[in-house]
């Protein structure tokens, strides 16, 4: 494997960081690397909020479900899907802009996700660790108000950045046979069952035999109730009417 593939396959979420700050120059370079990601029609429908205020970081840590590393990481970023800037620009150029389309929501969400993953890889290439924080969607309205996000902008996830103070084991992934299909979709329950055994072994080793779980059993709480049911109404209020 070449070094890039080796780097990508070595990813793990980091939740303990040293006190070493992330320099402004490095953060700028990471954002530039993020901007190099593919973007639909060159729309670049994203904005990144670097949350430096310690009180705000602590508030977000609490709003995101009590994730203390939001406050303690070297830097904390909130990645936003941003349809305000491109639609405002199009309007200024004379377009009769139609806002609130489902496709606009998809474009902005995909754009910011691609941008963030580029930044994550660039950060890890510089010796930083990262952890995505989907918990910002637990209380997206409060976080939007805290960050003064305008209409047509919403927080998709956060990212902790910093120099790792630990190196957890790499969490196994599904086998390629479960993911890669030829010509048509085919379910592969056998691959899932094999992966469940792999994850049981992983959790047993990581927790010293104190955790009985598999991939499938960990999914159960995510799908036996409505997860973040507030998101639809929140997105509509943000101007993403999903027409």
pLDDT per residue, tens digit, the chain (243 aa), is: 799 999 999 999 999 999 999 999 999 999 999 999 999 999 999 999 999 999 999 999 999 999 999 999 999 999 999 999 999 999 999 999 999 999 999 999 999 999 999 999 999 999 999 999 999 999 999 999 999 999 999 999 999 999 999 999 999 999 999 999 999 999 999 999 999 999 999 998 887 767 789 999 999 999 999 999 999 999 999 999 878
What CA–CA distance (Å, rounded) separates 70 from 133? 8
Residue 75 burial (CB < 10 Å; 0-12/13-18/19+)?
Answer: buried
Q: Is 53 left (phi over 0), alpha (psi -120 to 50) or beta?
A: beta
Say if CB 115 and CB 125 are below 8 A apart. no
Global model pTM greater than 0.85:
yes
> Distance of CA 15 to CAs 72, 159, 163, 168, 233, Å?
9, 11, 10, 9, 31
Nearest in space to 21 (alpha carbons), one of 97, 84, 74: 74
- Strand, helix or coil at 52? coil
pLDDT of residue 206: 81
Strands of the sheet with 46-50, listed across from one edge = 46-50, 75-82, 153-162, 129-133
- The whole-angstrom distance between residue 2's C-alpha and the CA centroid of its chain comes to 26
- What is the token pair recorded at 89? 């620009």
The residues that bridge with 78 in the sheet, in sequence order, are: 49, 158
Q: Quickly count: other Cβ atoms within 10 Å of residue 19's Cβ.
A: 9
What CA–CA distance (Å, rounded) separates 96 from 87? 10
């Amino acid at each position: 494997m070449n070094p890039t593939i080796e780097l990508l396959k070595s990813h793990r979420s980091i939740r303990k960081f040293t006190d070493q700050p992330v320099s402004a120059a490095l953060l700028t370079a990471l954002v530039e690397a993020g901007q190099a990601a593919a973007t639909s029609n060159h729309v670049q429908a994203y904005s990144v909020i670097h949350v430096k205020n310690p009180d705000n970081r602590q508030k977000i840590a609490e709003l995101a479900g009590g994730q203390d590393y939001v406050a303690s990481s070297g830097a904390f970023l909130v990645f936003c899907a941003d349809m305000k800037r491109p639609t405002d620009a199009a309007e200024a150029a004379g377009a009769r802009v139609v806002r609130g389309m489902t496709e606009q929501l998809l474009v902005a969400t995909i754009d910011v996700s691609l941008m963030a993953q580029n930044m994550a890889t660039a950060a890890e290439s510089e010796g930083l660790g990262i952890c995505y924080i989907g918990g910002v969607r637990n209380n997206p309205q409060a976080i939007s108000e805290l960050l003064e996000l305008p209409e047509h902008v919403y927080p998709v996830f956060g990212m902790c950045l910093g120099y790792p103070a630990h190196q957890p084991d790499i969490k196994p992934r599904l086998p390629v046979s479960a993911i890669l299909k030829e010509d048509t979709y085919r379910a592969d329950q056998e691959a899932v069952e094999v992966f469940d055994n792999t994850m049981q072994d992983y959790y047993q080793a990581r927790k010293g035999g104190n955790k009985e779980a598999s991939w499938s059993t960990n999914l159960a709480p995510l799908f036996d109730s409505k997860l973040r049911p507030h998101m639809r109404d929140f997105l509509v209020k943000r101007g993403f009417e999903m027409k």
